[in-house]
Structure 1
Amino acid sequence: MEPASPSRRARIAAMLALLAVAAVVAAGLVAHHRFPDVAPPASETEFDTDRAWTHLERIVGEEPAPIGSQNSAEVRDYLVEHLESLGLETEVQQDVGARTFRTVAETGRVDNVVATLPGTDPTGRVYLAAHYDTTPTTPGTTDDLQGVATILEIARVLAEREQPRNDVVFLLSDGEEPGLLGAEAFAEHHPDAPDGGVVLNLEGAGNAGPSALYNTSSGNAELVSEWADTVPYPAGESGFAALWAEAPFNSDFTALEEAGFIGMEFSPLDGRAYYHHPSDTLDNFAPKTLHHQGVNALAMADTIVDRDIAELRAESDTTFFTVFGQVLGYPGFLVLPLALLSVAGVAALAVLTRLRARVNVSHLLGGVLTGLLAIAVSMGAAWGLWQLLLQVRPGYAGMVSGDPYQPEFYRWAILALSATVAWAGYFIARRRLREEALVVGALLWPALVGLTLAVALPPMAYFGTIAALAASTGAFAAWRAGAHRPVLRCALLATGVLPGALLLTLSGYIITTVMGIGLGAAGALCFAMAALLVAPLVSMAVPASGGPRPILVPLTAGLLTAALTATGLAVDTFDEEHPYTANLYYVLDADTEQAVWASDSSRPHAWAADYVTDERDPDPLSIPAPTRSNPAWTGDAPALSLPAPEIEVADTRTGDGTLTLDLVLHTQRSAEMLILHLDRPIAEGTVTVPDLPATELSEMEAAGDDAAEWPYEVTMHNPPEGDVELTLRFTDEKRPELGVSDVSFGLAEVPGYSERPDGVVMEPAGGGAPTDSIIVSHTHEW
């Protein structure tokens, strides 16, 4: 820790230590990508990937299979036929599901496929779940038909084995994509739902890479322990599971957990560009990923089907992460003490440098500021890199996931860019500040991040806590070794920074994988802290004098960033196999008989730009249109002669300062969506369709001050040919403004419309009005 220039021997030791750290980190990244190739099963009662793939080929069509479609019905019938052939008790739960997302209540008619393998002495039920509907923009190979195919094969295996202790239920839900409707219908109306159970939910957030444990119910300690001890090829981190739980992401598991179920979710997480994408096809999905999903899911199911279900419900969570294929972690009750200990360790190091090395307070504060600036600038630079890529490759704006088709080189570019910024800042500060102060500053921020997360998001605190705790211990040991023993000193420093460098780099890589290059700044946070951890070793290898010029380090990293970015641009090009995406839909105001083409894309593809020629103000459309449509561009369109959806106020009741409306809605053109629009939120309500029980609607949140003219919606997906009846209660007696719209898929009937050219496909569904849809709108007059 002394400021004297290291000797040549010290420089060599530092370089070797850096190489050792880099080699271990690189090996960890390689191990993260490694998972088993497809192998034939050892027996008939093992997971057979070929059989699962055969199911996948059968249920994946060339066209999407959204809720209520003919394609979806064909998939449903196949599932029922196969599960019945296994001798399972199989039913189709026809019902209405509903879920409110802040200001929007999603409802819809669903057909859940539910099959049961009875247990010999059940303590509860084990559910294997996936959804068989897709969005209107994708064949849904990975989201989520691969999960369905996996469950069909697991059902065969378990049916052929000795009868398990617990009941096993195979829940293949409908209507997950528009709003978790099948899961909500199951949780609210199925007679087995009140008993709860353990759910293993198989999802499809990406189309490549290993199947990772990416979400758990709270109180996961026993389940995580079983998973860590059981699955042959584990992958997953509690940090991402916690982040997923707090983010506005939802799956069927969300609804089931709220209903009292416990469990886990598994999904491949790489290949996010294909999420809801028309190219999410069999050709773009690897059997290897299906194999990993199936082998791990079967192993987990195989264990818990014979466990006492009550014992799997724990009071605490476990912090866990996977390194070199091994699950490591610690109990939840240690999260805060370890975080505090890491801060105390850095504080002790600061006191030591102040007293023993005579580093003044201003230098320590300068070191802290240097670390903060390095992290902040790295994150800003990662954001700037994406903006640059958007300028060079405007088609990236149409990648809803924020990830290109082949993002690998861009991920490494963000890592190199973060190192460039961190090391440049460190070397510049080294001219004026003592090295010991910079070390303290580099370690303080991981410690503070860990402490903050220990309070706000405990399962995610580990990467900051472990990094700071290990590195401060290593730095203290290196100081004790002294500058006269450079080899030992470098070895101790390297040993200290290694855990943090490995975990932070892995975490940054996983974050950029899941969140995309567009949100690469989140990954840069981890990458920058990793670069700061190893900066003292870099500084020892490249001293201020007596060795290579220090500017060569950030310069080399910067040139590497440029080379990786250029390679990414060269590799990731748009073509027929990696098509551009384009968003376009048609809106007809039936009251004025005026129509517009509309696109939500801020930078429409040239094909769409021929229809949408006028850039709009940020205000949404003033007519009632789905999901508070806010197109970025519009253009004049011919007005079709289409019947408007109907709305009738059947009854109005007031009392106790509230208003209750009975409404009847009807689509006259067999649309796929029927939507009620309001200017005020509902307090509660019910939705009823012919031949099915009424379903409750929960309270809506109040919209913000910048709310659109029609901020509240009740949407019926897969509406019946007959009427949709709504009973809605409001918290005062003022009559709301009412509008109604319906949505059908396909634009072929609009005069002047031409199909997309080769190499251009629909933009993946990601919120907003559905692309390639016709929307007919009508405003009710009181």
Structure 2
Amino acid sequence: MAAVLGGIALAIFATTPPSPKGGKIVPTAFSATRAMVDVRQIAGAPHPTGSAEDAKVRAYLVARLQALGMDVTTSSAGVVDARGTAKYTRWTGRKEPPKPLINLIGVLPGRDRSQPAVMLMAHHDTVWGSPGAADDTAGVAATLEVVRAIHTAGQPRRDLVVLFTDGEELGLQGARAFFADNPLRLKIGAILNMEARGGGGRTAMFQTSPANGAAMALFARNVSRPSAGSLAVFLYRILPNDTDLTPTLKGPYTSYNFAFIGRSALYHSPRATPDRLDQGALQDMGDQVLGLTQGLLAAGSLPARAPDVVFFDLFGLGLAIYPAWVGWIVLGLAGIGLALVVRRNGSAGLRAGAARMTGLIALAAVLLYAFNWLSLKAGPPNYYDRLAAIPRLEVLALLVTSAAVALVMASWRPGRAGVVGAALPLMLLGIVAQALAPTAAYGVVVPLALVGLTLAIADRLGVVFGFGLLAVIGAVVTGYMLALAHQIMQGVGATLPMVAALPLAIAIFALLPSWPPMPRRTARLTAGLLLTAATGLALSIHFASLADTVAAYADTKH
């Protein structure tokens, strides 16, 4: 129980953004309170591309950039293409195309203007019908506050460029135009883009340019409370999602993408107002972007291309980073530890352990799929309504996976060999992941090594110290897996919640060495109660009215 509670505490710590800092902190630090002044000014009303409100926003931003000592220009980004115009027509009902796009560009001169510049990027337009306090006013306001802090600290070593793009919501129109033919693009060496899909939560650095080894080493040195993982980078490369960073990825730039996705009901919502923006998320974005920007500006040379690395934050306390090939060594250590346990304790229970872990993963995935299906409303699903349901879907996932654990694991006395058996399906997954996607495999191979090596030495430490060490490792792995499952549910929980079955199964594996079995009848009764509660929750989501946060223009994602 202590390991479970410790894991929950670590997960909460890892997924909670910092408290917003007030305006009286040192002037060279990022203050969400100061940034909120801009958020309230910009996000008072929807300001889509071509609107009168967006013209007011652009005028305000020009004045703000000039006040921060930047040389400011406006750049025509051409006209909206046919696809963007079609989206605009669906939003507004108007058949005429929106007005020409206008990007805003600010340059803060550095001491050595021959050096490649660092660019901060966000988009100034919103979707139709949403004030966009998060998407992307938070990114715009964070940019302004970062520039203020850097300007206050003195002239940077190299130029700092700000690009506020137009037409992002119509298909990355302004960014595509800038990186296609604006001469300033040839001056840029590094890019930090800021986005949001929701209204709060931790800000994650979720995407980089290819060959990110040196880029991530610099990130690790300069960001004090990071939220980042190479698993997210791997997944984002294969998913069909785009941001303004997309047009840069084939260019010679060192690129980073930041976003928060908590409070997902507020994505493109008419209720995405400044008062509903999580100021802790804004503080988190600003702290990470400021630290990284300062590091890039001060660097003697910007990071060169180097092989992709494995990286993940340690509950926000720092960043673990290592070459992808080291994953094989981690797997080898896991295998050595598990083999020593079998040598000492025998092999009785290996098959049972493997069967139970395989059954747990399969049953949890099936239950997650089935209850997610049960929660769907009749007719085609509304993307934004499903986003609004994510907090309840997370509770639903916890209920059904706990039921799966109660049915498969709760009454089992695994013994040491049984725990090793439970590791075998995970070892197989780890080997496949390390072979096919080495930068994404750490979520499996690192817990296997931690638990395997701890098992190998725990019995030699005596009952008290050995059990205590197993409980600590169980809490650490459980905390990380709960945080990862939370991130998965926020990202794809509305459509693919079954993906969360794996991290939850790994958490159970880490807890098995100190597992207190319960009577079989109690386990079955517990599972029944959990599934009953899950059924009630799924039906309540199914029959609930359409969320009042749904985007004003849509009954589908677009």
> Residue 184 of structure 1 aligns with which residue?
176
Question: Gapped runs of 5+ residues in structure 2?
Answer: 89-96
Whether 1:579 aligns to 2:548 is yes
* Length-normalised TM-score, structure 2: 0.86
Q: Provide the alpha-carbon RMSD of the alignment.
A: 3.5
CA positional deviation for 1:247: 1.4
> Residue 50 of structure 1 aligns with which residue?
33
**Is this contact kept in 1: 2:346–2:417, CA < 8 A?**
no
> Residue 453 of structure 1 aligns with which residue?
433
**Is this contact kept in 2: 1:468–1:500, CA < 8 A?**
no
Aligned residue for 1:140, secondary structure, equals coil
- In the aligned structure 1, how far is the partner of 2:434 from the partner of 2:221? 26
CA positional deviation for 1:321: 2.3
Q: 1:212 aligns with which of 189, 192, 204?
A: 204
Q: 2:335 aligns with which of 307, 331, 344?
A: 344
Amino acid at match of 2:104: V
Whether 1:389 aligns to 2:375 is yes
- In the aligned structure 1, how far is the partner of 2:486 from the partner of 2:527? 17
Q: 1:522 to 1:99 in 2, by over 3 A?
A: farther
CA positional deviation for 1:396: 10
Whether 1:763 aligns to 2:554 is yes
Superimposed CA distance per residue, residues 44-83 of structure 1 (whole angstroms, 9 cap, x where no aligned partner): 44434333222222222433x3333333333222222322
Name the structure where strand makes up a greater proportion of residues.
1
- In the aligned structure 1, how far is the partner of 2:431 from the partner of 2:4? 27
Q: 1:73 aligns with which of 51, 55, 61?
A: 55
> Residue 485 of structure 2 aligns with which residue?
508
Q: 1:45 to 1:494 in 2, by over 3 A?
A: closer
- In the aligned structure 1, how far is the partner of 2:467 from the partner of 2:342? 22
> Residue 359 of structure 2 aligns with which residue?
373
Matches within 5 A, 1:55-454: 55-63=38-46, 65-96=47-78, 109-122=100-113, 123-310=115-302, 312-341=303-332, 344-345=335-336, 348=339, 352=343, 357-359=346-348, 364-390=350-376, 397-400=381-384, 402-405=386-389, 407-426=390-409, 435=415, 438-454=418-434
CA positional deviation for 1:207: 0.6
Larger Rg: 1
Whether 1:464 aligns to 2:444 is yes
Q: 1:567 to 1:573 in 2, by over 3 A?
A: same
Amino acid at match of 1:450: G
- In the aligned structure 2, how far is the partner of 1:251 from the partner of 1:398? 22
Query: 458-467 vs 165-174, which deviates more?
Result: 458-467
Aligned residue for 1:66, secondary structure, equals coil
CA positional deviation for 1:558: 5.3
**Is this contact kept in 1: 2:6–2:479, CA < 8 A?**
yes
**Is this contact kept in 1: 2:334–2:452, CA < 8 A?**
no
* Length-normalised TM-score, structure 1: 0.63
Q: 1:530 aligns with which of 486, 507, 513?
A: 507
Q: Which has the higher contact order (CA 8 A, sep 6+)?
A: 2
Identity of aligned residues (%): 26
CA positional deviation for 1:372: 1.8
Aligned residue for 1:141, secondary structure, equals coil
CA positional deviation for 1:100: 12
Aligned residue for 1:37, secondary structure, equals coil
Superimposed CA distance per residue, residues 448-478 of structure 1 (whole angstroms, 9 cap, x where no aligned partner): 3333222333222111001111222233334
CA positional deviation for 1:764: 6.5
CA positional deviation for 1:235: 2.2
Q: 1:561 to 1:171 in 2, by over 3 A?
A: farther
Superimposed CA distance per residue, residues 670-705 of structure 1 (whole angstroms, 9 cap, x where no aligned partner): xxxxxxxxxxxxxxxxxxxxxxxxxxxxxxxxxxxx
Superimposed CA distance per residue, residues 476-531 of structure 1 (whole angstroms, 9 cap, x where no aligned partner): 334667xxx65455345435544432322221121112223442211222112322
Amino acid at match of 1:444: L
Question: Gapped runs of 5+ residues in structure 1?
Answer: 1-18, 543-547, 583-760, 768-782
**Is this contact kept in 1: 2:473–2:510, CA < 8 A?**
no
Whether 1:26 aligns to 2:8 is yes
**Is this contact kept in 2: 1:126–1:305, CA < 8 A?**
yes
Whether 1:475 aligns to 2:475 is no
- In the aligned structure 2, how far is the partner of 1:97 from the partner of 1:257? 23
Aligned residue for 1:119, secondary structure, equals coil
Aligned residue for 1:170, secondary structure, equals strand
Aligned residue pairs: how many? Answer: 545
